[in-house]
Amino acid sequence: MALSTLLASALCTIVLPILLFLVAVKLWEVYMIRGEDPSCPSPLPPGSMGLPFIGETLQLILQRRRFLQMKREKYGYIYRTHLFGNPTVRVTGAENIRHILLGEYRLVSAHWPSSVRTILGSDTLSNMHGSQHKTKKKAIMRAFSKEALELYIPVIHEEVQTAVKRWLVQDPCVLVYPEMKRLMFRIAMRILLGFKPEQIRTDEQELVEAFEEMIKNLFSLPIDVPFSGLYRGLRARNFIHTKIEANIRKKVEESDKGSKHRDALQQLIDSSRKNGEPFSMQAIKESATELLFGGHETTASTATSLIMFLGLYPKVVKKLRQELWDKGETGMDLENLNIESLEQLKYTDCVLKETLRINPPVPGGFRVALKTFELNGYQIPKGWNVIYSICDTHDVAEVFPNKETFQPERFMKKPLADSPRFQYIPFGGGSRMCVGKELAKVLLKIFLVEVVTKCHWTLLNGPPTMKTGPTVYPVDNLPTKFTSYVKT
């Protein structure tokens, strides 16, 4: 009798809850698959929808790139899942991504997760559509013209030189990733938002920490309660807004007096006035925050990857130095760079491209299906989110042999230049290609020239483990020892 009572108790307390949980998960799967459009003959992509309501969001947040690799290995280049509160199809491969990126406004539309839209705001370029997106993009692109980039170069070079000098006297090591974020943040504050160096010094530490908190919580569950990721992200965002509002007001006043500025923020202020729009402080603050996010987080990630790869491949560093010395002997002034001289650095450009191939700073982009459509034999239901994968597409691109090896020379070969589009998309593609890609190239080439000609360095922990959150970074912050390099 006692044994049967014990078994019954175990059944009620252990087995039954497990069975109910499994039934709930199965019912959740069935419920989500009801989103399938019966008028479309193609089946849904393979995959799983995870736990009720939260789907597979937690697995993605905890495992990041490993989670995506496991899903791709199991289900292929197109699979379904449930992320950030929405049924989602993840897409990999050049031909598949071509349909997505060229299908903007026809098949899909940009649609970031709820947490990203809430934190960054509705008046940002990434969250705008149609004519509004085109107008704002046109205004921002003026700040990334060749003439504007030429004006930014001395500021970029000054900040990079200052940082490199500091690293050379810092003992025993430099934590590269935090240093890169600080460096790129200062550059973005100066050339994108027009902050003066003394202004940055006053608020730099607090702003950097606030950006850390905001970025860390960009991709979080859409639950705004105390201590949740979304709550912390919004609080950090509000602090950033308060710090940049005074600078915006100052720009508006100076603009009224006829003063001209060359930074991206001023272009947005002037554009809103030319279009007869009422001035919105909230909209400008949101745009400024987006510019700072896009202008420093991705370049910090890539600069860190450059230090990592070059630390692992000294022969590449040797070839870089040789190119720079050769150019110097033919008249290039490495201390006074310009757009023309940077464009002559072909091998330097290849090193940057190879770094972006293996470690694209942004792993992909978000869209939403405007209507049900077919993609490579599967249906993508209307209203479902679509994530296109940059990192996975680079991994599977047939045009790159020996994918795991860092080989900048591959970009010197003509067949690669003639290869099909969308096999290499570190800056995205289509109408929403990264607006700051030319600035990023200029900035990172200047960084390469300075660090390669002035430094030797050693990675103290060897090859690091890389994670994504939301950009690619080394989990150990890449501790590195820098020493002075003198040409012999």
Binding residues for heme: 434
CA distances from 221 to 47, 105, 119, 120, 232 (A): 21, 27, 12, 15, 12
Whether residue 277 contacts residue 283, with contact meaning beta carbons closer than 8 Å, is answered with no
Give the helix/strand (H/E) hosting 373: strand 373-375
84 touches 115 (CB < 8 A): yes
Query: What's the Cα-to-Cα distance from 322 to each of 67, 175, 316, 319, 452, rounded to whole Å?
Result: 41, 28, 10, 5, 10
Q: Report phi then psi at 344, rounded to 5.
A: -80, -15
- The residue behind tokens 């692109």 is 141
Give CA–CA dist 337/324, Å, rounded. 12
310 CB burial (10 A radius; 0-12, 13-18, 19+)? buried
Closest CA to 463 of 356, 360, 311, 354: 311
Tell me how long the chain is.
488
Please state, in angstroms and rounded to a whole number, the distance separating the CA atoms of residues 311 and 324: 18
User: Which parts are annotated binding residues?
Assistant: 434
CB 194 within 8 A of CB 447: no
DSSP string computed for 412-481: GSHHHHTSPTTSS-TT--GGGS-TTHHHHHHHHHHHHHHHHHHEEEEETT-SPPEEESSSEEETT--EEE
Judge whether 98 and 421 are in contact, CB under 8 Å. Answer: yes
